[in-house]
Structure 1
Amino acid sequence: MPEPTGVIHDIGYQRYTGPRLGRRQVVGALYLHGVRTVFGLGRSAKAKIFPWLVIGIVGMVAAAVTAIRAQVGEVVMTYAQFADAMSWLVIFFVAVAAPELVSRDLRSGVLPLYFSRPLPRTDYPLAKLLALVTGLWLLLGGPQLLMFLGGAFTADGMRGVWDELLDLLPGLLYAGLWAVVFASVGLLVASLTGKRAFAAGGIVAVFLMTTPIVGVLSILPSQTANQLAGVVSPPTLVQGVGLWAMRDLLITDPDGGGPDLGPFGPVYALVAVALVAACVALLLARYRKVAAR
């Protein structure tokens, strides 16, 4: 009889006997982890520096605007104008947050683990996109709530508080528009490479290098080209939609002028919707391709 060639050792592993959660819980966990990642929560102190530096800057601006209003008794910046003024910071925030959400997973090769059942291929990018949209909306909307509290305490009675609330709601919607457009573009660019530095550079390039094109189109002799110039760059596209939908909240000075959209305000809105839809479709296609490898 042959001698045994191996021994099975019991090292204490046990079968999992707890509840097996489904698709909703997996997506929810991905989303919550993504929101934490956007703000550097649960990561090293180094990873928290830039997100919270940006949060501190926008918070200080909101506090300063609120304090000045309390002193002079006049609105120095509307909620919608605040979102416009902070848009340049949002670009760099996206350039850091989007690669952390998706590029790290691409580089480390953990996507096959995510794509094991019960998580469909589309749920992963959509959860990451929703997390980034939430983070950007909180970045712009949180300081607006601070401004609202300051305005509400200095308002004249409940009627003044109600009027302040009616001013806040369009500002929060406008912040949501910034968040959706910037997150869609930024996450798509970040999903193309596993190297975070390349992804961050690509995101900044997409947002900033399209701006000179707007400048060139805006000085052409054609009035139509001038009025449609803003559609070629995501920041000016969002601003164009805002001017069309809430011009009185963005330009409070009747003599202040502002970009002339002519009759093309609805075109800006349609282009914004088309841009977001195209980015989401390409993002889903990208992860179908990754999953097929």
Structure 2
Amino acid sequence: MPEPTGVIHDIGYQRYTGPRLGRRAVFGALYLHGLRTAFGLGRSAKAKIFPWLVVGIVTAVAAALTAIRAQIGEAVMTYAQFADNMSWLVIFFVAVAAPELVSRDLRSGVLPLYFSRPLPRADYPLAKLLALATALWLLLGGPQFVMFLGAAFSTGDGMSGVAEELLDLLPSLLYAGLWAAVFASVGLLVASLTGKRAFAAGGIVAVFLMTTPIVGTLSVMPSRTVNELAFLASPSTLVGGVGSWALGDLLTFEGQSGVPIGGFGPVYAVAAVLLVAGCVALLLRRYRKVAAR
């Protein structure tokens, strides 16, 4: 029997003996990385330009509203109205951030690395969705808080005035969360359909803006019921309808009122929940298919 001629070389590889953090740590790392990516942190200076330009615009508007209130002694816009008026900027923020979160990974083919243990298939899209929703909530809620601080320091009613401002702020922050949930779920679903960021961005903008003419057409129909239900046809007006029903006076200020939905407020609330749930379900289904390839 011939003697073995093979040689085993010790090149220094060792087994990992440290702590294995598991699923929760992986999910948290994906979430934090996604949140940083949404604002361009940890990436090139070019990637930071648009996100921080949007942050600067909404913050500057909030600061200007605060300064005007300090000068004239009364508010010119409520916290909830601020979210409505800044929603068009949120659309473009989503169009840039969502493809960065998911389309790049689809194009580069790194998803099999993510889907190795201990990360379940659903955790990847859910972490990305939570990161984008958090970024959008901060984008709207941060300036609202700036407005609150200005109002709290300029109110002449002492602690009672601060408490009144706080009672206006809290539901408006929840309203900003609704904007974030709807925009993030719709935007991420569209972005997950393609690995090309330009196509994903264009698709997101189209979904939000191309549905607006449908609302305009339905809102001038001769039927009042159709007019009041017309705002279900677009994600933006859908959220506005929920706000008109749930917030009431917080969206009625200085002659400006919310979306005219009549008595269909609960219908809008249910539709918003179904829209988010449906987008999340389709997003999870999409990544089950991607993982199976």
Q: Take 2:267 and 2:93, find their aligned partners in 1: how far apart are those partners? A: 28
In the TM superposition, residue 130 of structure 1 has moved relative to its aligned partner by 0.4
Question: RMSD across aligned C-alpha pairs, in angstroms?
Answer: 1.4
Q: Which moved more, 1:226-235 or 1:12-21?
A: 12-21
* Aligned amino acid, residue 260 of structure 1: P
In the TM superposition, residue 18 of structure 1 has moved relative to its aligned partner by 1.2
Q: Take 1:260 and 1:78, find their aligned partners in 2: how far apart are those partners? A: 18
Q: Take 2:161 and 2:13, find their aligned partners in 1: how far apart are those partners? A: 65
Q: Take 1:162 and 1:47, find their aligned partners in 2: how far apart are those partners? A: 40
Q: Take 2:71 and 2:93, find their aligned partners in 1: how far apart are those partners? A: 31
* Aligned amino acid, residue 110 of structure 1: V
Structure 1 residue runs without a partner (length 5+)? none
In the TM superposition, residue 171 of structure 1 has moved relative to its aligned partner by 1.0
Q: TM-score when scaled to structure 2?
A: 0.96
Q: Take 2:147 and 2:52, find their aligned partners in 1: how far apart are those partners? A: 19
* Aligned amino acid, residue 268 of structure 2: Y
Q: Take 1:69 and 1:9, find their aligned partners in 2: how far apart are those partners? A: 75
CA offset digits 1:168-189 (Å, max 9, x no partner): 0011011000000000000000
What SS class does the counterpart of residue 91 from structure 1 fall into? helix
What SS class does the counterpart of residue 151 from structure 1 fall into? helix
CA offset digits 1:17-54 (Å, max 9, x no partner): 21111111110110011100111111111100000000
- How do 1:101-120 and structure 2 match up within 5 A? 101-120=101-120
CA offset digits 1:203-250 (Å, max 9, x no partner): 000000000000000111111110001001000000000001112111
Q: Take 2:160 and 2:258, find their aligned partners in 1: how far apart are those partners? A: 31
Structure 2 residue runs without a partner (length 5+)? none
Q: Take 2:270 and 2:90, find their aligned partners in 1: how far apart are those partners? A: 23
In the TM superposition, residue 2 of structure 1 has moved relative to its aligned partner by 8.4
Indicate yes or no: 2:240 matched with 1:239. Answer: yes
- Match for residue 62 of structure 2? 62
In the TM superposition, residue 78 of structure 1 has moved relative to its aligned partner by 0.6
In the TM superposition, residue 259 of structure 1 has moved relative to its aligned partner by 3.5
- Match for residue 173 of structure 2? 172
Q: Take 1:66 and 1:16, find their aligned partners in 2: how far apart are those partners? A: 55
- Match for residue 36 of structure 1? 36
**Greater than 6 Å deviation, 4+ residue runs:** none
- Match for residue 96 of structure 2? 96
- Match for residue 183 of structure 1? 184
* Aligned amino acid, residue 179 of structure 1: A
* Aligned amino acid, residue 71 of structure 1: Q
Contact 2:240 2:258 (8 Å CA) reproduced = no
Distance 1:52 1:256, change over 3 A: closer
Contact 2:241 2:260 (8 Å CA) reproduced = no
Q: Take 1:45 and 1:289, find their aligned partners in 2: how far apart are those partners? A: 34
- Match for residue 271 of structure 2? 271
- Match for residue 283 of structure 1? 283
Distance 1:159 1:210, change over 3 A: same
Q: Take 2:184 and 2:257, find their aligned partners in 1: how far apart are those partners? A: 30
Distance 1:51 1:185, change over 3 A: same
* Aligned amino acid, residue 211 of structure 1: T
In the TM superposition, residue 101 of structure 1 has moved relative to its aligned partner by 0.5
Percent same amino acid among aligned pairs? 80
Aligned length: 291
In the TM superposition, residue 13 of structure 1 has moved relative to its aligned partner by 3.0
What SS class does the counterpart of residue 53 from structure 2 fall into? helix
- How do 1:74-223 and structure 2 match up within 5 A? 74-155=74-155, 156-223=157-224
